[in-house]
Amino acid sequence: MGKVFEVIDEKLAEWIGQQRMFFVATAPLSADGLVNVSPKGYDSFRILDEHTVAYLDLTGSGVETISHLKENGRITIMFCAFEGGPKILRLYGKGEALELGTPEYDALIGNFEEIVGARAIIKVNVTRIADSCGFAVPFMDFKSERDTLKVYADREGPEGMVAYRQKKNMHSLDGLPGYSGK
């Protein structure tokens, strides 16, 4: 059923590029800490090379992924086929949050559509690539992207997004340090 891949090859890259959304999972080291799983959309995912991927992290009500990556770097990205043949693909690795305004962020932002609500680029060194059947994943039809986040961020502007992040994104639900930039 499942297969482990050495690299993100052309065939996997093409399949990843066809998926409309993905999920990101992280967890703190504490056994009492909260495991986080976040859905991601838009055209925000990029394959940088056979073992490196990145996605544009947008401002949200929480900051769990950034906090967990700062603490331990562990991350899993999961894609599910909602159209076509059944498939689930997981990319396991060590990630880092390249925050808005840093040289590392600036070096990679040209790979993405610039969005006012962006707060970081999550860059992942992929250490394991594995698929599984996905036989129970339902078929779902894509209708459209939600523009709610983009409309909100455009309305608030860069200054409003800075204020929002300073109010809501400085610490995780477990109290770990979160977003530190603007």
Residue 15: pLDDT above 70? Answer: yes
Shortest CA distance to 126 belongs to which of 2, 4, 1?
A: 4
User: pTM for this structure?
Assistant: 0.97
Residues 6+ apart with CB under 8 A from 99: 66, 105, 119, 120, 179, 180, 181
State pLDDT tens for residues 125-178: 999 999 999 999 999 999 999 999 999 999 999 999 999 999 999 999 999 999
Count of domains forming the chain: 1
CA distances 111 to 46, 48, 177, Å, are 7, 9, 27
Domain assignment of residue 89, yes or no? yes
Alpha carbon 164 to its chain's center:
20
Domain holding 33, by residue range, is: 3-135+145-168
Q: Is 96 part of a structural domain of the chain?
A: yes
Does 180 reside within a domain? no
Q: What is the mean pLDDT of residues 35-61?
A: 97
Q: What are phi and psi of 17, to 5 degrees?
A: -65, -20
Q: Does the pLDDT at position 182 exceed 90?
A: no
What does the pLDDT read at residue 1? Answer: 62
